[in-house]
Structure 1
Amino acid sequence: MNETIHVLNNHQSIRKYSSEPVSTEQLQAVIKAAQSAPTWGNGQQLSVVGVTDEAKKATISDTIGQPWIKEAPVFLAFTLDFYRAKQLLEAQGQSFVAGDNVDTLLIGSTDVGIALGFATAAAESMGLGIVPIGAIRSHSEKMIELLELPEYVFPVAGLVLGHPTDKPGLKPRIPVEAFYHQDRYNKDQASTIQAYEKTFADYMQQRSNEIPAKTWADTVARYYSRPNGIPQTAEALKKQGFTYK
């Protein structure tokens, strides 16, 4: 196994950080890696807003309710970004109409996800810790205001970056036979998922000493048993110009 695969296979989300700063060289390396990620049609429809100002980090942290954002030295907001494309087209006398197409959101979100993965791998290869912050969408309008995001730019995910003081251990993933499907999708996953439920609960009990232990079903239900997901996302997207149909 080469070093790259070792880093990828040993990812851990970190929620405890020291006050040691992330060096300029380290931050630049993470941003360069994120920018090197492939994008749909080479449209490069994403941007990253870095926050190192302590007061602004504290506001973001308190708004979202995740203290590790202000404890770590760097917070990166990954945004889907079509403002740049709109400016480019209009400068050449063309119209930007992609905001009317829901596929535009898939394109931008996919590009963000790939770049986030590249940034994560780069950071962890240097011994830094990270934790993705999906909850910025729960407070998207506040994030848009704090980061001064223009139209057609929307915060998809955040990334905390710093030096870890504690590592929780590798969180077990679903068995590979439920993740990788050869030639056709395997719909018979009930027994595999039931076995994983026990594995996940055992891990969570060892990690938190909670009885009963939190299960994977608890995690999934928290996000997907509600009909509207994060209901404010749709309204915030429309305010940013995405009138998707």
Structure 2
Amino acid sequence: MNEVIKTLTNHRSFRQYLNTPVNKKELDAIIHAAQSGPSWIHGQQVSVIIVKDSARKKRLAELCGHQDHINQAPVFLIFCADFHRAKLASEIEGVSFEVADDADSLLVGAADVGIALANAIAAAESLGLGTVPIGGIRRSPLEVIEFLQLPKYVIPISGLCIGYGGNDPGLNPRLPKEAFYHEETYNENQMDMLQHYNETMAEHRNKTTNGKSDANWTERIAGFYSRSHYNNAYPDVPRMLQQQGFTCKDMKDES
């Protein structure tokens, strides 16, 4: 197994960090790796904002749901889907800017962010740093947009803590390969696999919490994605999209 695959398969999420800065050379390498990922039509629909100031990290930690690891990490990156440059390109070329009316633009932006984020994680971990992505950046997106001074057509998708891990949380067991990897067509028959995986996760959770919890995977996921929880956690995402210019109209209906 080569070193790249070792790094990728050894991922774990760190939520405690040492008070040790990330040096500029390492940070530049991480950003370069993130920017080097492929993107739709080479449109490069991603921007990354770095926050290192303690007071600003504290405010972002509050906006993300009071996640203290954002305070602890010396570097906090915010990955944004960015069509602001595409809008400027339209102005330079004197053509209309239609992409924000198309729902597919959100998939494009999110996919490009995901690729850049994955590259940043792999690069950071290859340098011996710890990371954890922060989806909570969308918890109070209107305030985040104002705080980061994001222009129209730019939306925050994910944060990323980077630093030297203060503890090793260990690897979380993954779903069986057969649930993740499908040959030729999708296999819907996953109930038995999930039941077995529940046992694995409950045992793992019991071990890592010293017996304080034995919650299984379906219990946690079903609870998170229940309508009441999810709607209450991220209520302003639709308003964020509208404010930032993403109308997502059905263009066929408009004709």
Query: Distance between the aligned counterparts of 2:115 and 2:201, measured in 1?
Result: 26
C-alpha contact (below 8 Å) 2:205/2:213 kept by paired residues: no
Query: Distance between the aligned counterparts of 1:165 and 1:36, measured in 2?
Result: 29
Query: Is the aligned partner of 1:45 residue 2:45?
Result: yes
2:170 alignment counterpart:
169
2:253 alignment counterpart:
none
Counterpart pick for 1:242 among 246, 249, 255: 246
2:77 alignment counterpart:
76
Alignment of 1:175-186 (within 5 A): 175-186=176-187
TM-score by length of 1: 0.97
- Amino acid of the residue matched to residue 232 of structure 1? D
The CA deviation at 1:211 is 4.5
C-alpha contact (below 8 Å) 2:100/2:245 kept by paired residues: yes
Instruction: Please list every run of at least 4 consecutive aligned residues from structure 1 whose deviation after the TM superposition is greater than 4 angstroms.
Output: none
Count of residue pairs brought into register by the alignment: 245
Question: Which 5+ residue runs of structure 2 have no aligned equivalent?
Answer: 250-255
TM-score by length of 2: 0.93
Is the deviation greater in 204-213 or in 60-69?
204-213
1:194 alignment counterpart:
195
The CA deviation at 1:222 is 3.3
Counterpart secondary structure, 2:227? coil
1:233 alignment counterpart:
237
Query: Is the aligned partner of 1:129 residue 2:133?
Result: no
2:26 alignment counterpart:
26
- Amino acid of the residue matched to residue 37 of structure 1? G
Query: Distance between the aligned counterparts of 2:243 and 2:63, measured in 1?
Result: 20
1:126-182 CA-partner distances (Å, limit 9, x unpaired): 000000000111111111011110000000000000011101100011000010001
Query: Distance between the aligned counterparts of 1:77 and 1:155, measured in 2?
Result: 7
1:82-129 CA-partner distances (Å, limit 9, x unpaired): 001001111111111111111000000000001100000000000000
Counterpart secondary structure, 2:80? strand
Is the deviation greater in 111-120 or in 88-97?
88-97
Counterpart secondary structure, 1:206? helix
Change (3 A) 1:165 1:211: closer
Query: Distance between the aligned counterparts of 1:218 and 1:29, measured in 2?
Result: 39
The CA deviation at 1:210 is 4.5
